[in-house]
């Protein structure tokens, strides 16, 4: 267990908080989804209540160590000001004279935001000098950015070598729900895995075969499994260099007594277009020139029936091309089925989280992870550097 903001005396201290404010925005630089900012509010408000002087920092986009105005944190400072109902001042630099001056003059309960940490070329290299500069701004470091916890950067792990480092409430929640789901699940324990490629999920599939009772596969990666069984998949996404691996994974599941479920039918389209001609066929009968984009109704019914028995479910990755309405039916149907069952339901970030938000079902789930890559690595059982760097209880 890692120490949290509750386990350390913070009263009146200067606190550097690493958040994940990497939010999407449109061409007019209007934030289109503020969930990540909202998720950080409980920690920020707790620090305000404890009279801390609060220095927030985050990255936004991929400026690759250069100052690029289109990646400025100004839009985040505005949104934080609105949500907190108090001014959040933005420094003109990351660890330069302006950041130092603002930090120096902070009063208890005040909040400031550093400019995009990835404007610093040393950030992604976990540069020690940069880490020391971050540390010089504050007396305590709080990491609440689960979405970047799998990266060893100056603002996520480096700074923790120079300051007492604890987690915020968001990371605490992530570790609690993802951790307990994996370590001590109520059974039957089921996992639903979607997404494009088997290669992205090898580690997760292998780790989950050791733990779950049922593993359901959807999304484009299903076609690699079909091909490995000797069936034609038309123009569907398929990793020809992973066919042996796909076979191996199915054999491992069988040896472990894990029920390994693949779609029995698939909705296919003529071309990659929202309005393409489409039809549903058996998984063994995908015609040449067509591409699989979703699970079919028979699979939806099969998976829904199986899920009625579940006590713990982890879901990572959409089951079809959910960005196109006609191929979002599988993902939405399974989301609705899950919303109705009484079980611990954890969504492992990324596109599956977006799909559930889009369907308006978020409050029906126990936990929706804020970390895409970090959730995946956590599910694989990998150690996350951003978490490892924090003090143990």
- Active-site residues, by number, are 36, 197, 350, 373
Q: What share of the chain is helix, strand, coil (3-state, %, to 5)?
A: 40, 15, 45
Q: HSE, CB side, 13 Å, CA atoms: give it for residue 104.
A: 7
Distances from the Cα of 49 to the Cαs of 53, 311, 323, in angstroms? 11, 38, 41
Class of residue 159 by CB neighbours under 10 A (exposed 0-12, middle 13-18, buried 19+):
buried
**In the beta sheet, which residues pair with residue 392?**
2
Nearest CA among 43, 35, 60, 171 for reference residue 117: 60
CA–CA distance, 311 with 320 (Å, rounded to integer): 24
Residues 205 and 42 sit within 8 Å (Cβ to Cβ): no
Tokens linked to 44: 């920020």
Q: Give CA torsion, residues 339, 343, 348, 351, to 10 deg.
A: -10
């Amino acid at each position: 267990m890692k120490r949290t903001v509750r386990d350390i005396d913070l009263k009146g201290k200067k606190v550097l908080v690493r958040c994940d404010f990497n939010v999407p925005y449109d061409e007019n630089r209007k934030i289109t989804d503020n969930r990540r900012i909202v998720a950080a509010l409980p920690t920020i408000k707790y620090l305000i209540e404890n009279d801390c002087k609060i220095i927030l920092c985050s990255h936004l986009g991929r400026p690759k160590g250069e100052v690029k105005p289109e990646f400025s944190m100004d839009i985040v400072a505005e949104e934080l000001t609105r949500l907190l109902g108090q001014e959040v001042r933005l420094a003109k630099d990351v660890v330069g004279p302006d950041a130092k001056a603002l930090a120096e003059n902070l009063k208890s309960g005040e909040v400031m935001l550093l400019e995009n940490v990835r404007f610093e070329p040393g950030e992604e290299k976990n540069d020690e000098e940069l880490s020391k500069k971050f540390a010089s701004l504050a007396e305590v470091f709080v990491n609440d950015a689960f979405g970047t916890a799998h990266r060893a950067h100056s603002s996520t792990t480096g700074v923790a070598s120079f300051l007492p480092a604890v987690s915020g409430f968001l990371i605490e929640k992530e570790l609690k729900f993802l951790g307990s789901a994996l370590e001590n699940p109520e059974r039957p324990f089921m996992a639903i895995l979607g997404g494009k490629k088997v290669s992205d999920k090898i580690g997760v599939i292998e780790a989950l075969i050791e733990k779950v009772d049922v593993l359901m596969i959807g999304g484009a990666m299903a076609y690699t499994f079909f091909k490995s069984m000797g069936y034609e998949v038309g123009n569907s996404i398929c990793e020809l260099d992973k066919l042996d691996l796909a076979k191996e994974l199915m054999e491992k599941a069988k040896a472990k007594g894990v029920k390994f479920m693949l779609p029995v039918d698939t909705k296919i389209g003529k071309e990659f277009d929202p309005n393409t001609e489409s039809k549903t066929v058996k998984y063994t009968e995908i015609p040449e020139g067509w591409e699989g984009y979703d699970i079919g109704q028979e699979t939806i019914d099969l998976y829904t029936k199986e899920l009625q028995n579940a006590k713990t479910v982890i879901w990572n990755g959409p089951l079809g091309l959910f960005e196109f309405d006609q191929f979002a039916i599988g993902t939405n149907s399974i989301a609705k089925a899950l919303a109705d069952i009484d079980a611990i339901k954890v969504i492992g970030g990324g596109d599956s989280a977006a799909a559930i938000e889009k369907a308006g079902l978020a409050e029906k789930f126990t936990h929706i992870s804020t970390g895409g890559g970090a959730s995946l690595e956590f599910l694989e059982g990998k150690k996350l550097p951003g978490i490892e760097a924090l003090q143990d209880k």
